[in-house]
Amino acid sequence: MKRFLNLIAVASVALSLSGLAQASETKAAKPDLAAGEAKATTVCSACHAADGSRGAPTYPILQGQHPEYLVKQLTEFKDGKRKNPVMGGMASTLTPEDMQNVAAFYATKKAKDGAAKNKDLVALGEKIYRGGIAKKSVAACASCHSPNGAGMPSQYPRLAGQHGDYTKAQLTAFRQGDRTNSPQMVSIAANLSDKEIEALADYIAGLR
């Protein structure tokens, strides 16, 4: 009986180690950029252009975005945590592997520089981005998204050069409670006026 129990214990350990090895291999698997490009071309290009570049200003620029952030957003669109009828439908067709591949593909593209449009608001936008608004408890955007808008991988998205119209729409959605998948941004945007949102969005569009 003792020998039998020992054999079971050994087998259990072997199975556990095998499972850990498989999990490690899955985690370490590299994204397939060719597959990502193919999927992006068939599913994403109509709105985001073939390489996620400077398409229509109502859609985000995906070039150079952190892949971890893109995967998070796609997952939350699919799960319904982030609401958008179009993206919810698109994401519903993607597997986790598709998301990893598409995100990696866009991340390899060099983001192009943008430009601010409203010179009268740039100074206000820069002031808020770099210093926040203390009396409104609005933290400086640079503290999370970095001074040059590069963001932080897996935590905060790249903002530099993003379409002003898109950034304005997202900040407004956070403020109104239409977008709730970032409690931190909901609390920050809640204290921003229309003018402050417009100034920030325009400043970010030209940030580099």
**Is pLDDT at 201 greater than 60 in this prediction?**
yes
pLDDT on residue 123: 96
CATH of domain 119-206: 1.10.760.10
**Can you tell me the distance from the alpha carbon of 41 to that of 121, in angstroms, rounded to the nearest whole number?**
37
pTM over 0.75: yes
Beta partners for residue 138, in sequence order: 133
**114 three-class SS:** coil
**Is pLDDT at 77 greater than 80 in this prediction?**
yes
pLDDT on residue 112: 85
Q: How many CA atoms lie within 13 A of 117 on its CB side?
A: 10
**More confident call, 32 vs 1:** 32
* Burial class of residue 56 in the structure, from the number of CB atoms within 10 Å of its CB (0-12 exposed, 13-18 middle, 19+ buried): exposed
pLDDT on residue 27: 55
pLDDT single digits (tens) 121-179: 999 999 999 999 999 999 999 999 999 999 998 889 999 999 999 999 999 999 999 99
Q: Name the one residue in this structure whose structure tokens are 């640079």.
A: 142
Q: Which is nearest to 84 in space by CA: 198, 183, 179? A: 179
CATH topology for 33-107 is Cytochrome Bc1 Complex; Chain D, domain 2 (1.10.760)
Q: Could you tell me where the DSSP H helices lie in 151-193? A: 164-176, 183-189
Q: How is the chain split into domains, by residue range?
A: 33-107, 119-206
Q: Which is nearest to 203 in space by CA: 153, 136, 142? A: 142
Rg (CA), the chain: 21
pLDDT bin (cut points 50, 70, 90) of residue 111 is confident
Could you tell me what percent of the chain has a pLDDT over 90? 79
CB contact at 8 A, 205 and 116: yes
Torsional sign, CA 64, 68, 73, 79: positive
Amino acid letter for position 103: A
pLDDT single digits (tens) 10-41: 444 444 545 544 544 445 589 999 999 999 99
Q: How many CB atoms lie within 10 A of CB 126?
A: 18
Tell me whether domains 33-107 and 119-206 share a fold.
Answer: yes
Task: Return the structure tokens found at 109.
Answer: 């593209």
Task: Return the structure tokens found at 42.
Answer: 């068939």
